[in-house]
Chains A and B, each alone.
Chain A
């Protein structure tokens, strides 16, 4: 490798006394850090701190350190910015990265706290008393027509209202395309979604045939590249999602390099093998809101009126956009905040474009209520939901459900090393090299996903119990149960949350 001015970020440190020279680290590292000459010899510049070697070393002999290289202190020109400038002058390239925004912007969730009941209203014990998390996504009418019958009341038959998509807990798996992640990841997600009674999402890479048996727990996505989209595809799945944008890269499209498009991926995407898979930024048939309506209804006509949702990135006028989308006929709006993850995105876009999810959900929810159309579509919030606390707060701000992508990958072993775009993920997740993909056993992965989502669901029940409600509907949109700590007054007003003390 040519000499670069950007020094390695990490240093691999091996305890020679403990090291058994077994060579496991050489085999496990996907980035090619190690060569072996009587003992493991690390090339620090290739290390991404993914901890695969650390985890699998039988002697616990490896640790990864921040390279203790001193830079002259400069809070404005951080070492990361200097290294980026050196790389770009060496290559002339756009800096690519993976996963979600890692800049230290204010995290609104971390400044929100939840209420608890005392004295005047008891909390409820979620372990013993029913605590309902079931959620139905979709368009709902404002009122219901009933008629009296001989055995009591029944529904008047109304063609325009179909029962929503059922989720046993208000969590979905976020769209991650087959191509950005491996097939085994998709299989793990599908297995887990079925066991949990929730849904996964194909992302823009189409639906692999191996997943057909799970179609009732799948949302099929239609992105601008229309990969894998034909009427058969549209008719599989519990719902269809039109992807307009995603939180990590608002306004730009996706790019799967030809090298990553092996035969299987190409078949699933319905493109020739080896060709780049480019999702253009806009759907080229949607240049105005009425075009979106046209696309939505053409899908509905094709699928016998399945629910159709629209996924957007959270940007400045997200409230107006969401309102337009709802009026265009979408059954749900999926809002991806600026911390949403990706398999590959230019760093400048990932880190500097878009707005936080918490604010986006709050303003969308309020705008739809102001216009009297909140019932017409559900809101799914994503980008990055990191814990059950984020889940509870997102629901209180107005989300019907959340979607988890980064958290799901972390459950499967991701360590957020942001190396997804290289296709060499040591954990076998965002890669297609078979020696790496086989590291993820879908059954094992499904069990871990089920564990994570179940744990968060139990924690959400604990939170609901403390709030004195026994159904998630009574927290949904109830800003009254949140207070802010350390948020400026204007943000509080924008998200409709009072400061603690009021």
Chain B
């Protein structure tokens, strides 16, 4: 286990240095050269002191920003590249990133909103229960794994770019949307094993998806007009967030991927 001992060299982030904070309703925290513990402590302190918006500037690699934070009215703005596990276990606040995020965004998120004006790494929204994640760019591997719906509210992830293998793997509930627009990545809009083990929820992909790319537990079909209409509210919010045209987004057919049953492996087992 990492014991964050004092760095003995001139390099790296020093644990002991707290960030400079300009307090108020909008608190600004300069994270340059500051270790994540101090950053997150400062964020919590600012919120406790009454800030409703916390702006983090010069962020590069600090982990666990927004992790475990609660409170509907709280807003965190991240300028730079946040480190691992952004908004993990988050329950209520809004986090907005100007830049790319890394792995583990929104892991087991309970509610709230994450907006990324950039791309995210692997394992986006793992086990998400409620709330929304909007990504302008690409997602990596294993996005939306085991998203689940809870007490009537369902989580939503919308990615504007492309995603890699295991998209929506083991999904149990919620909505996962992939648009494939303005992506710098090459290759198809999504990788292989889409929806493998899916047993709840729905995936919508803008355009078409090859059959072989999907797991064996899903059925793939063109989205009906009614289904596309059902996406309008979420996509309208998404387009507003990123300054895109909803009409353009909805101008092409979408593909719907959903589970064939809620017990995909029922037949696999037997007893003596």
Residues of A within 8 A of B (CB): 125, 127-130, 455, 458
Contact = CB atoms under 8 A, between A and B. Distances in A.
A477 to B, nearest CB: 28
A128 B268 contact: no
B193 A458 contact: no
Nearest to B192: A130
Contacts of B270: 455
B268 A129 contact: no
Contacts of A125: 197
A481 B197 CA distance: 28
B170 interface: yes
B265 interface: yes
A128 B216 CA distance: 9
Nearest to B196: A128
Contacts of A128: 166, 169-170, 193, 196-197, 215
A455 B270 CA distance: 10
B184 to A, nearest CB: 24
A148 B268 CA distance: 46
Nearest to A458: B268
Contacts of A129: 166, 193, 196
B193 A130 contact: yes
A129 B270 CA distance: 22
Interface string B27-63: 0000000000000000000000000000000000000
Interface in B195-229: 196-197, 215
17 contacts: A125-B197, A127-B197, A127-B265, A127-B268, A128-B166, A128-B169, A128-B170, A128-B193, A128-B196, A128-B197, A128-B215, A129-B166, A129-B193, A129-B196, A130-B193, A455-B270, A458-B268
Contacts of A130: 193
Contacts of B265: 127
Contacts of B169: 128
Nearest to B169: A128
B62 to A, nearest CB: 25
Contacts of B196: 128-129
A125 B193 CA distance: 13
Interface string B159-203: 000000010011000000000000000000000010011000000
Q: Choose among A125, A128, A129, A455 the residue with the greatest number of B CB atoms under 10 Å from its CB.
A: A128
Contacts of A127: 197, 265, 268
Contacts of B197: 125, 127-128
Give the top 7 A-B pairs by smallest Cβ distance, nearest first.
Answer: A128-B197, A128-B196, A128-B169, A127-B265, A127-B197, A128-B170, A458-B268
A455 B268 CA distance: 8
A458 B270 CA distance: 12
Q: Choose among A125, A129, A130 the residue with the greatest number of B CB atoms under 10 Å from its CB.
A: A129
A455 B269 CA distance: 9
Nearest to A130: B193
Given A128-B166, A128-B169, A128-B197, 14 more contacts: A125-B197, A127-B197, A127-B265, A127-B268, A128-B170, A128-B193, A128-B196, A128-B215, A129-B166, A129-B193, A129-B196, A130-B193, A455-B270, A458-B268
Nearest to B170: A128
B167 to A, nearest CB: 12
B258 to A, nearest CB: 16
A383 B170 CA distance: 40
A133 to B, nearest CB: 16
A125 B170 CA distance: 11
Contacts of A455: 270
A171 to B, nearest CB: 18
Contacts of B170: 128
Interface in B240-272: 265, 268, 270
Interface string B67-97: 0000000000000000000000000000000
Contacts of B166: 128-129
B90 to A, nearest CB: 24
Contacts of B215: 128
A4 B19 CA distance: 99
A127 B266 CA distance: 12
A144 to B, nearest CB: 26
A387 to B, nearest CB: 12
Nearest to A125: B197
A129 B265 CA distance: 14
A205 to B, nearest CB: 34
A158 B193 CA distance: 36
Nearest to B197: A128
A237 B31 CA distance: 71
A455 B271 CA distance: 12
Nearest to B268: A458
B216 to A, nearest CB: 9
A419 to B, nearest CB: 26
A127 B196 CA distance: 8
A35 B169 CA distance: 62
A128 B265 CA distance: 10
B265 to A, nearest CB: 6
A24 to B, nearest CB: 27
Nearest to B145: A128
A452 to B, nearest CB: 11
A128 B215 CA distance: 8
A391 B247 CA distance: 57
A462 to B, nearest CB: 10
Nearest to A454: B268
A128 B166 CA distance: 9
A127 B193 CA distance: 11
Nearest to B195: A128
A434 B197 CA distance: 48
Contacts of B268: 127, 458
Contacts of A458: 268
A327 to B, nearest CB: 43
Nearest to B217: A128
A125 B265 CA distance: 13
A450 to B, nearest CB: 14
